Each structure stands twice: as C-alpha cells, then as structure tokens.
Amino acid sequence: MRKLSYALLAALAASALAVPVTAAALPTDVTAGQCVAGGGVIVISAVGDGSQGYTKRCMGGVHDGQTVL
C-alpha cells in the first residue's frame, strides 16, 4: 500500500511541476483591458523614428512585458 501512496504523490508532484510549462506556452498577447485589470500600464513606443510603426507593451502587474493587442 505504501508504494501506491508514494507513486500517487510522485504523480501529483509531476503534474504540479508541469503547470508552469503549460502556462509559459500560452500566447503572450493581452488586451488593453487585461493589462490594466492586471495592474499594469500600457507603454507605447515608436519603432525607429516612428515611421515604421509603434509597439504597445504592458508594463507592471500580472502581464508585465507582454504585447498589447
């Protein structure tokens, strides 16, 4: 019976360790509302001199560093 308990405990530990890997594989794009709701602010930066477009990133909070759609 003890071997079954240790095997069950090991399986639970392995599944708990796999959760961050799954979360890391999710897309990193968030909406502006998700960024603000997560405690972040949206930072808009020009690419080059601005003629090449802009980037929008969520800074701070839960979605720190993620691209804002």
What pTM value is reported for the model?
Answer: 0.56
| pLDDT of the residue at 51 | 87
Q: What stretches of 1-69 adopt beta strand conformation (E)?
A: 41-46, 54-59
Question: What's the chain's average pLDDT?
Answer: 77
| pLDDT of the residue at 29 | 87
pLDDT beyond 60 at 20: no
Contacts of 31 (CB under 8 A, 6+ apart): 68, 69
pLDDT beyond 90 at 28: no
